[in-house]
Every structure is written in structure tokens, then in C-alpha cells.
Amino acid sequence: DQQVKQNSPSLSVQEGRISILNCDYTNSMFDYFLWYKKYPAEGPTFLISISSIKDKNEDGRFTVFLNKSAKHLSLHIVPSQPGDSAVYFCAARISGGYQKVTFGTGTKLQVIP
């Protein structure tokens, strides 16, 4: 049972345009969401997070939006740069519990120069 789903395995975007990566979850107990970026031969690195008490969090070119009623979150990258080409994982966890993070299957983003 995949509780965190990233339905788009890949996405191609032109440099300078907006990249939108989507994520859906099924467990209503999740109240903290994270995005990780992964380059080949490296481990995932934390990008941005959002608590369920917010609907938006911004960090430079990266913005995460959370729609709790739809159990949906998205990561916007504006403007997209070739260095953003990587696999992006959406993740979720339940606060107060010990570190048990549920990850999605990832979306491979390619930013075309």
C-alpha cells in the first residue's frame, strides 16, 4: 500500500520555466511533509518541508504547497535551472513519533538548457 504517491515518474522542463512536481498521500495522520532531491550516486538531500498547519512554504526558488483536503502537495521550482535535474522524492511523517518517514517513488526532473 503506497501511502505517498508520485504519479509522474518523469518531467521535462525548459530552463527558466516553472517545474511543478506533484505528490498525493492517503494517510490523514501525516502532518509533516518533506521534499528531497537526489543526484545519481549520492544520497537524498533535504530540500524543503511544510507542516500541516501551513499551506505554503517558500525557500528561494522552491515553494511547497499543501492542500490538506485533497491530500495533495506540490513543489514549484521557479525558475528551473539545469542543476535542478535530479530525482525528487516527496515524503511524509507523523509528528511526535520517532523517525519513520514514508517516501514516494520519486519524479525524475530534467531541465533542458
Partner 1 sequence: KAGVTQTPRYLIKTRGQQVTLSCSPISGHRSVSWYQQTPGQGLQFLFEYFSETQRNKGNFPGRFSGRQFSNSRSEMNVSTLELGDSALYLCASSLDGVGETQYFGPGTRLLVL
Using rule CB under 8 A, residue 98 touches partner 1: yes
Cβ-Cβ contacts under 8 Å for 31 (sequence gap 6 or more): 51, 52, 94, 95
Regarding 42 and contact with partner 1 (CB under 8 A), the answer is: yes
Give the x/- contact pattern for partner 1 in 53-82, rule: CB under 8 A: ------------------------------
Q: Coil, strand, or helix at residue 69?
A: coil
Closest separation between CB of residue 46 and partner 1, Å?
5
Nearest-Å Rg of the Cα atoms of the chain is 13
**Contact criterion met (CB below 8 Å) for 44 and 62:** no
Piece of 2-10, 52-60, 62-70, 72-80 that binds partner 1 (CB under 8 A): 2-10
**Grid cell locating 44:** 537524498
Kindly tell me which residue out of 7, 10, 14, 45 binds partner 1, with binding defined by CB under 8 A.
Answer: 45
Using the rule CB under 8 A, which residue among 25, 80, 84, 104 binds partner 1? 104
Q: Are strands 19-25 and 72-77 parallel, antiparallel or unpaired?
A: antiparallel
Instruction: Please choose, from the candidates 34, 52, 18, 51, the residue with its C-alpha nearest in 3D space to the C-alpha of residue 88.
Output: 34
Q: Which residues bind partner 1 (CB under 8 A)?
A: 2, 4, 6, 32, 34, 36, 41-46, 49, 89, 91, 95-106
